[in-house]
Amino acid sequence: MAHDLCPWRMAYLFDNWLRRWIQRPERMLAPWVKPGMTVADVGCGMGVCSIAMARLVGDAGRVLAVDLQPEILRVLEGRARRRAVAHRIETRVCAPDRLGLKEPLDFVLAFWMVHETPDMAGLFVEIADHLKPGRFFLVAEPKIHVGDRELAETMDLAGRAGLELAGRPPVRLSHALLFVKPAPGAGEGGDP
């Protein structure tokens, strides 16, 4: 897989009104993001999905918008202020090899960024460590960059981190993989 980071200024090409219209992030994320949840948007870019999640979690919820590039987070913060959801979003600059998550999470999104990650195995382990049992992690990768072999690698690494494939929801222009963190004792054949 390629591990080149998209320059933050290039994000304007795909983090815009057209993407919101085509992908409809609130509708896309509504099955998994509910009021009061703490959710993370990993590789959040300029906030197309972070802002949608902020609307979905409501005032009792929180969105952790995590990105490697501080410039992109400043754009997201301005967009969130203009849409009156900034108080629900906490931006965080991560390290190239560490997200720096601390809290238990109800949902995690990695939209069009896993293919840019130099340590995918470490990414999946860190997310699995912070995802609550029975909760979901949605990976969406751009069809123009990621093929079947890379998707198989993604599924394998997620499985090694303890996540199970729960489905392949339709996400426009993307390959999507929905993972779940199994509840303790799940799949062990019942009571001892």
Please give the C-alpha separations between residue 127 and each of 8, 99, 120, in angstroms, as whole numbers.
Answer: 23, 9, 11
Q: Which residues make beta-bridge pairs with 95?
A: 98
DSSP 32: T
Beta strands in the chain (DSSP E): 38-42, 62-67, 89-93, 105-111, 131-142, 164-167, 174-180
The β-bridge relationship of strands 131-142 and 174-180 is: antiparallel
pLDDT band with cut points at 50, 70 and 90 for residue 187: low
Query: Please, what is the average pLDDT of the chain?
Result: 88
Q: Which residues make beta-bridge pairs with 136?
A: 107, 180
The top-level CATH class assigned to 28-180 is: alpha beta
Is 0.85 surpassed by the pTM of this model? Answer: yes
pLDDT band with cut points at 50, 70 and 90 for residue 143: confident
Task: Please state the rounded mean pLDDT for residues 38-59.
Answer: 95
* % residues pLDDT > 70 (the chain): 85
Residues with Cβ within 8 Å of residue 2, at least 6 apart in sequence: 115, 116, 145
The predicted structure's pLDDT at residue 49: 94
Residue type, 54: A
Pair of tokens at residue 42: 């990993």
Cβ atoms of 90 and 62 closer than 8 Å? yes
pLDDT band with cut points at 50, 70 and 90 for residue 10: low
The predicted structure's pLDDT at residue 9: 55
Residues with Cβ within 8 Å of residue 3, at least 6 apart in sequence: 115, 116, 117, 118
Residue 96: count of CB within 10 angstroms of its CB: 10
Q: Which of 109, 130, 120 is nearest to 45 (CA)?
A: 109
* % residues pLDDT > 90 (the chain): 71
**pLDDT per residue over 80-123, tens digit each?**
999 999 999 999 999 988 999 999 999 999 998 898 888 999 99
